[in-house]
Amino acid sequence: MTQIEENTQNHCKLMIKQKRRALLPKPKKTEEKISNKSVQIKNEEEVKLAALAISFNIRLKSSDMPSAMQERALRHTRALLDSAASAGHRRPNPTLLARSLKKEFDSVYGPAWHCVAGKSFGSFVTHSPGGFVYFSVDSLSFLLFKTEVHVIT
């Protein structure tokens, strides 16, 4: 191959690359900034939630729930356990804890919340998207989830 043919071939390859780049959609700066900002905010929320869980001695095991709702569940549970301890109850009643957590979420986020609390239980549940959290405090585990309500006519 002669030098001219080689230069022509390299030039053609370069032109093809440039045309391919021109055809690809370019990411907009504002979209990148918004995307990066939302990732940063989500990371900050997760760090805040993790710090809260550590301070409350809570182990968050699984969740499909927004951070604010998880925080409400953790804070309410911690408050229930602290009030039971201050009332002199050595072992809080898991049924009463589950009822209180369920009623709290029903009143704040609408009906059809379910809560299971105890030292040992198995479960297999279907939940609404964004409505599931499973965590433990000391020796008690809590499963809180939401289902859809369909009116039967």
The string of pLDDT tens digits covering residues 22-75 is 555 655 666 556 667 666 767 888 899 999 999 999 999 999 999 999 999 999
Domain boundary among 39, 55, 71: 55
| Helix, strand, coil abundance in the chain, percent, nearest 5 | 55, 15, 30
Whether 64 and 35 map to the same domain: the answer is no
According to DSSP, residue 25 is labeled P
Please report which confidence band the pLDDT of residue 87 belongs to, taking 50, 70 and 90 as the band edges: confident
Q: Are residues 41 and 87 in the same domain?
A: no
| Amino acid present at 82 | D
- Residue 65 makes CB contacts below 8 A (sequence gap 6+) with 73, 130, 131, 132, 133
Q: Does residue 114 share a domain with residue 143? A: yes
The residue among 55, 70, 94 that closes a domain is 55
- Residues 83 and 124 grouped into a single domain: yes
Domains contained in the chain, number: 2
> Cα–Cα distance between 74 and 141 in angstroms, integer?
12
Per-residue b or e along 30-42, where b marks 16 or more CB atoms closer than 10 Å to that residue's CB: eeeeeeeeeeeee
* pLDDT band of 118, cuts 50, 70, 90: very high
Q: Is the pTM of this model over 0.75?
A: no
CA angle 24, 28, 31 (to 5 degrees): 125
What's the rounded Cα separation, in Å, for the pair 118 and 140?
A: 5
* Domain that includes residue 19, residue range: 1-55
- Structure confidence at residue 19 (pLDDT): 57
Domain C-terminal end among 55, 80, 99: 55
pLDDT surpassing 70 at residue 114: yes
Say if CB 63 and CB 134 are below 8 A apart.
yes
Dihedral sign for Cα atoms in the order 100, 58, 82, 139: positive
